[in-house]
Structure 1
């Protein structure tokens, strides 16, 4: 019946919307784009972080550096004094807020008296079907980004530049950062111009704590990030 078809469509849209916007999402999906001129024979992966003027003396910056340092360590990088470092690592990050409008069908009962009166979700009346109205609702979407730029200290040559970006209903950049850092450096080094999507399981305890920046960084699930494409 036509009413069943409309009801089924409405339910599918509501389920899809809930899956996208609810806080019960089981995976974080991150898009990663990399530009690379990395030498595969590099045996001296020593580095130091470099900061822009606005990042000096920043606890937020220090916290994110800890997360990135943990991921770099998994690829044999060792943090040393800036004067001894082979590479300099710079970070850029931010959050952008957008609004997404979603139209959903809303079914109302027939205005005519009859045996179907009082069934607000039934589009059928005694004289046939009534088409649904559509209700548009706006939802905030937060896009978080992390850029990691690696240059040679002595020459200033850029050898690796990667950008990780994810979007959803999570407002906090600090909660998103562990996933951004791990996704950005998964399978390092990627090829030049590589674009891929990484899916990671959500860990409720993966958020960065309010403790001092010198405390150990949060550890994400041990499972390997999944490259979707």
Structure 2
């Protein structure tokens, strides 16, 4: 889906607010979009990861495959050799950076102290007063993970899910556990579903086991993830 410039500007402005509040943020919020033809009749979900020819020795992709494998396991998926797998799982991923500008107020105090105001109000009736606004620019990073599941023997696509979040985190590696858990949090989603997943941070900055899913809605057409090679 092509996003018009006003929608994109609003999205980036909200992301900028997230960056400003990141010191007190305790959740990572991810939007998940799924397209599904999953029948749910298989008793054993065996799978193998599939790669493009130029990705055979990609260490970054190997790292992300392990993260996704950990999230597939609770849904009865078992990784096997490709020749014995019922499903092939392909990953796509990427990160994009933008700069957003936010107008922030600047204050001044025309009444230098000492003076006393009302209880618990050290400024009293005098100020400070807004002197105007200055533009501050902040980096915003959008992280993306796509998980595509096909039947090995027929090549039929049975599940395609995309997870996307934005914020001040510049590392895709640190964002990947949240993307993978969000993408597979409620597997399998129905066809054409969009929902929001909130995952709390633990004390060490990692993801906790608690997952909150909100805002389930029919999906609008989504652009595919581009693999990073």
Measured against the shorter chain, the TM-score band is 0.7 to 0.9
- Hey, what does 2:100 align to over in structure 1? 100
- Hey, what does 1:72 align to over in structure 2? 72
1:42 alignment partner, SS class: coil
Size of the aligned set, in residue pairs, is: 193
Question: Are the structure 2 counterparts of residues 66 and 154 from structure 1 closer, same or farther at C-alpha, using a change threshold of 3 Å?
Answer: same
Structure 2 alignment gaps of length 5 or more:
1-15, 115-122, 216-229
CA distance in 2 between partners of 1:130 and 1:202 (Å)? 37
Question: Are the structure 2 counterparts of residues 96 and 21 from structure 1 closer, same or farther at C-alpha, using a change threshold of 3 Å?
Answer: farther
Q: Is the 8 A contact 1:20 1:168 kept in 2?
A: no
CA distance in 1 between partners of 2:109 and 2:92 (Å)? 54
Matched ranges for 1:76-155 at <5 A: 76-110=76-110, 116-117=111-112, 132-155=131-154
Matched ranges for 1:157-196 at <5 A: 157-196=156-195
2:66 alignment partner, SS class: helix
Q: Is the 8 A contact 1:178 1:206 kept in 2?
A: no
- Hey, what does 1:34 align to over in structure 2? 34
Q: Is the 8 A contact 2:149 2:159 kept in 1?
A: yes
Matched ranges for 1:196-215 at <5 A: 196-203=195-202, 205=204
TM-score (norm 1): 0.76
- The CA RMSD measured in Å over matched residues stands at 2.8
CA distance in 1 between partners of 2:134 and 2:213 (Å)? 37
Q: Is the 8 A contact 1:34 1:193 kept in 2?
A: yes
TM superposition shift of 1:107: 2.0
TM superposition shift of 1:183: 0.5
